[in-house]
Amino acid sequence: MKWNNQLIEQLQWSNTIINRAGKERVAKEVADMAKNGDIIGAGSGSTVYLTLFALAERIRKEALHIEIIPASNEISMTCIQLNIQQTTLWNKRPDWTFDGADEVDPQHNLIKGRGGAMFKEKLLIKSSDKSYIIIDPSKKVERLGSKFPVPVEVFPGALNHAEQEIRRLGASEITLRLAVGKDGPILTENGNFILDVRFDTIGSGLEQQLKSITGVIESGLFIGYDVDIITAE
């Protein structure tokens, strides 16, 4: 028996979606890539959210069998709201993944993680044969870190050690991301803290240097990944 999910039925995107018309156009473009039987990884962000609506419309009209592997509770709840079937990485591998980004440089290196789901997002991209990053023009930068800090997911008990080691890598500023609507720090999908870290320069090896610190679960750096960029103009 299914739950009467009134709270999920009322779910809406928490913030105003900037450039909604452009994002809806590219959301339809991405949804049109789906084929019957596809297993699709879905990251996080407003364009991913809108793409699920376009995908749900195709599923309804064309009776497609498509399963989503969500990167976050927010996206999972949206799938429930839209009656899109879900699966997990325990038993399925995504044919392809779509996601957003906070910054994209000319070499298609990324900063992600404003939504706090970068560990699962990175796992989905690594597991997929093809990955599409959907952005609007404001996300394009000449240098990573010019607009946003690098999110670093840290096990709570390792907070002090991680801060010390990250400073040794040249961090110019480190802040613990605080929650909105509750006291204390924000928690990731895995129950960890997020440090927002500023670097004057981000080298090609920084992603691995951060990952090598004991207590660091993942960072929002995606350097050298094979992704296609789709821009919502």
42 in Cβ contact with 48 (< 8 Å): yes
d(CA 154, CA 218): 7
CATH of 150-221, one of 3.30.930.10, 3.50.50.60, 3.30.450.60, 3.30.70.260: 3.30.70.260
Q: Taking the model in full, what pTM does it have?
A: 0.91
Alpha helical stretches, state H, the chain: 6-9, 20-31, 46-62, 73-81, 118-127, 159-168, 206-211
In tens, the pLDDT along 98-152 reads: 999 999 999 999 999 988 899 999 999 999 999 999 998 989 999 999 999 999 9
pLDDT of 14: 63
Buried b (16+ CB within 10 A) or exposed e, 44-77: bbbbbbbbbbbbbebbeeeeeebbbbbbbebbbe
Return residue ranges of the chain for CATH 3.30.70.260. Answer: 150-221
163: tokens are 């801060």
CATH of 6-141+225-231, one of 3.40.50.1360, 3.40.50.10320, 3.90.79.10, 3.80.30.20: 3.40.50.1360
Catalytic residue among 121, 163, 165, 189: 121
The SS3 call for residue 144 is coil
pLDDT-above-90 percentage for the chain: 79
The SS3 call for residue 87 is coil
pLDDT of 13: 66
Return residue ranges of the chain for CATH 3.40.50.1360. Answer: 6-141+225-231
In tens, the pLDDT along 63-94 reads: 999 999 999 999 999 999 999 999 999 999 99
Is 29 annotated in the active site? no
* Position with higher pLDDT, 13 vs 37: 37
pLDDT of 3: 74
Tell whether the model's pLDDT for residue 12 goes beyond 80: no
pLDDT of 52: 97
